[in-house]
Structure 1
Amino acid sequence: MATSRSTEPSAPVIVKHPGCPQWGLGYLVEERDEKRFYDFEDGHNHSIAKAFWSKLEPVQLADDEASALEARIRGLRDRPSAAAKKARVRVAAPPVTSFDEQIATFEAQFEGGFGGPHFVADERGFAGGEPTEGGSSGSKNGATAKKKSKAFKQSAIETARALLAKGELEALLAAGNLADFMERITKVHKAATGLLHPLGDLIPFNKMAAEHHRAYAEAVVDLLYGTDDYAARFDRLAGVLAAAKVVTWPLATILSALVNPAEHVFVKPSFFEKQAAVLGFDLAYDRAPSSEGYARMQALARELERRLRERALAPRDLMDVYSFLWRTISPPKAPAKS
């Protein structure tokens, strides 16, 4: 009886990823579940889903060169990371407030909590834009707001979900239409201007060299809709941003936080450091965005969410948790002396 044989070509042992030159060369360590796992010269193991195998370019090395590459990469993986070294020597700042004081500050600003009219009007924003006639606006008797709300987060979430839909991004990428792809990213960033800093985030990003656009576009699609481990996808995006010299925590986290705020959180490290001190949470992260650091930021946000719910406050998602954090983490400034 004839037996079927796989026509899948054998996996190249040594490869490079043209879209992620910062990874260097990598060698195959495992193949399973339609994924290939490579150890690269950046010291990380990257899992490549089957849909992206064609992106890898085989590299031919002499036997002695291949052995030297493997030894060098193993040495990198066995060595403590720079992030771990920095984390060990960083001294945590003392708490600037207490959690009880944060709760009191929040309740004083937003009567009714996350679902109250003041939080919606001043912080979250309205679904679909401004409230319609007779809708809740924070004014008496539910009258229509007399002035436009400055809250933007709900609008930014809706904008991101509309402009960064999976099918549309994949179609733009397949067509090589990088200009329209980047224009969509710019529009999402503009919708989230209150989260991203003009000088620290927006201006540098908008000056990203065109040679990095394809790698960035591929990393964004992978980040938002890839099927392999999120940590690898996060590191890929952070690596592309680093190669383009525009990497920041806000730029590395904004898209996932807007498209999927129930799962992902927007990060400004200085706020998270202060919150970690208040909750006695061991944040220990590196200044450079990494999946390890992000996992701790995410865990801190979840811990804060848990404590808020214990106080009968019900954030919709991690964007609300971030709003609580930044609204309450710094003590109010003392009034100026007359």
Structure 2
Amino acid sequence: MSTEDTAPQPGDRLYQHVKRKQWGLAVLTWERDGKRAFQFEDGELRVFAEAFYKLLQEVETPPEQAARLMAKLGRQGGLGKGDGKSEERLLTAAEQVQVFLEQFPDGFEGAEWKSEHRGEGASRRLKRHRDGAADSAREQLSKEALDELIAAGDHGEVLKRMIDVVHGSDLVTRAQAEPVATATASPELSAGLRDLLYGSGDFEARFDEYCRLLLEAGRKQISWPLASAVQALVQPEAHVAVRPTVLSKQAQWAYPRLRYSTKPEGKVYTRILTMARTVRDALAKAGQPPKDMLDVYDFMLVTLRPAAVKILDEVRRRAELMGDHEESAAGEGDGEADELPPDDAELDEADADDDADADDESDEDEADEDEADEDDDPAQAAG
């Protein structure tokens, strides 16, 4: 099911009043009974009747800036309070990087990361070891190797190599790999694989055709991990593997309005790849440049998995304590306390466009699956 075109949700995008730009940007905090409430940068929560919705227009800002502002305004507007349906506090890039460094203090260049995720120095290659999997994929599915096999009509060997590559990492589970494992070899599938990896022209169209051929050859619905794994391993500098369970959380700052489909589609893959590149660039800016998009993929997993929630809570607790200390120091001798955001019950009609106040309302968070990496099924030894 596609989530491409959805109605505005509380806290998911930024708005500006076309006639009151001095109010600053705003987020939607709740909607019901023909009314919408918006929290503005000037500290006011304003309620609008449906006739005035057109005055609030969406504003495009850089993803990380948008995420920070949406998180701030969401907290001011009371998102997640009052109804037992806690709206998740939006993740920021800085928080995610800190969660990563709490687990791997030396970052991507550290021995711990290289050993655990890249397989450096390992006596045998495990499925989670990216270097060995990528090296094997590049060797087996190189342009020269595919051209030679296709020219010889050895489409069975092409399929066998696809299966070896897919089974050689933990990017795809055995169940997810079944459409390839049970597929029928054909010239069309071989050509589709080669075109996906080395063809020219629009990649979205090549991706869609590859997915169609996989579906036709395996006669089973294909998943995002399967549709994205081969190119992520053969060309890890350019492509990213897709793990649906982390998409919504990662999009909070890296692509706040990401809408994706459960069915693999080229146009959606392009958006996910754009999000992954945003993460890569943010990591580089933070002094933690990843080796390739496989590092970006694993960064998302280790920082967004359920086990990282406690680490994130501690990171936020320390940041809040430091913020409280700085505010206390800055406020000495000021004589005036900062004005708190108004509660719903204290709202007055601040403008002719405003309407009556109401209770806060927010959507229920989407639950993430907890998929543990399977390392007990090692691939062949590296080399």
Q: Which TM bucket (shorter chain)?
A: 0.5 to 0.7
Aligned residue type for 1:299: T
Please state how far the C-alpha of 1:278 moved relative to its aligned partner.
4.3
Aligned pair partner of 2:103 in 96, 106, 109: 109
CA RMSD of aligned residues (A): 2.5
The alignment's TM-score, normalised by the length of structure 2, stands at 0.55
How far apart in 2 are the matches of 1:95 and 1:251? Answer: 31
- Give yes or no for contact 2:119–2:130 (8 Å, CA) kept in 1: yes
Counterpart for residue 305 of structure 2: 330
Output one character per residue of 1:75-101: Cα deviation in whole Å (capped at 9) or x when no partner.
Answer: xxxxxxx85xx4113867845754343
Output one character per residue of 1:31-82: Cα deviation in whole Å (capped at 9) or x when no partner.
Answer: xxxxxxxxxxxxxxxxxxxxxxxxxxxxxxxxxxxxxxxxxxxxxxxxxxx8
Identity %: 30
Structure 2: gaps spanning 5 or more residues:
13-86, 311-383
Aligned residue type for 1:107: L
How far apart in 2 are the matches of 1:206 and 1:330? Answer: 28
How far apart in 2 are the matches of 1:320 and 1:313? Answer: 11
- Which secondary structure state, in structure 1, belongs to the residue aligned with residue 297 of structure 2? helix
Aligned pair partner of 1:248 in 223, 236, 261: 223
Alignment of 1:168 onto 2:145: yes
Please state how far the C-alpha of 1:174 moved relative to its aligned partner.
2.2
Aligned pair partner of 2:207 in 223, 234, 238: 234
Counterpart for residue 136 of structure 2: 159
Q: How does 1:191-202 map to 2 (within 5 A)?
A: 191-192=168-169, 194-199=170-175, 201-202=176-177
Larger C-alpha radius of gyration, 1 or 2?
A: 2
How far apart in 2 are the matches of 1:154 and 1:160? Answer: 10
- Which secondary structure state, in structure 2, belongs to the residue aligned with residue 185 of structure 1? helix
Aligned pair partner of 2:189 in 180, 205, 216: 216
How far apart in 1 are the matches of 2:234 and 2:125? Answer: 22
Aligned residue type for 1:103: V
The alignment's TM-score, normalised by the length of structure 1, stands at 0.62
How far apart in 2 are the matches of 1:223 and 1:101? Answer: 36
- Give yes or no for contact 2:258–2:271 (8 Å, CA) kept in 1: yes
Counterpart for residue 266 of structure 2: 291
Task: Identify if the C-alpha distance between structure 1 residues 301 and 280 changes in structure 2 by more than 3 Å, giving closer, same or farther.
Answer: closer
Task: Identify if the C-alpha distance between structure 1 residues 278 and 228 changes in structure 2 by more than 3 Å, giving closer, same or farther.
Answer: closer
Counterpart for residue 323 of structure 2: none
Counterpart for residue 371 of structure 2: none
- Give yes or no for contact 2:167–2:174 (8 Å, CA) kept in 1: no
**Structure having greater relative contact order (Cα 8 Å, sep ≥ 6):** 2
Please state how far the C-alpha of 1:161 moved relative to its aligned partner.
0.6
Counterpart for residue 320 of structure 1: 295
How far apart in 2 are the matches of 1:280 and 1:289? Answer: 18
Please state how far the C-alpha of 1:312 moved relative to its aligned partner.
0.9
How far apart in 1 are the matches of 2:102 and 2:125? Answer: 19
Task: Identify if the C-alpha distance between structure 1 residues 158 and 148 changes in structure 2 by more than 3 Å, giving closer, same or farther.
Answer: closer
Output one character per residue of 1:124-161: Cα deviation in whole Å (capped at 9) or x when no partner.
Answer: 223xxxx3xxxxxxxxxxxxx6x656441111110011
Output one character per residue of 1:280-307: Cα deviation in whole Å (capped at 9) or x when no partner.
Answer: 5221122211111011001000111121
How many residues align? The count is: 230
Please state how far the C-alpha of 1:118 moved relative to its aligned partner.
0.5
How far apart in 2 are the matches of 1:220 and 1:280? Answer: 29
Please state how far the C-alpha of 1:279 moved relative to its aligned partner.
3.7
Task: Identify if the C-alpha distance between structure 1 residues 206 and 148 changes in structure 2 by more than 3 Å, giving closer, same or farther.
Answer: closer
Aligned residue type for 1:214: P
- Give yes or no for contact 1:231–1:291 (8 Å, CA) kept in 2: yes
Aligned residue type for 1:254: A
Alignment of 1:87 onto 2:63: no
How far apart in 1 are the matches of 2:165 and 2:235? Answer: 14
Counterpart for residue 157 of structure 2: 180
Aligned residue type for 1:222: D
319-328 or 102-111: bigger deviation: 102-111
How far apart in 2 are the matches of 1:248 and 1:175? Answer: 31
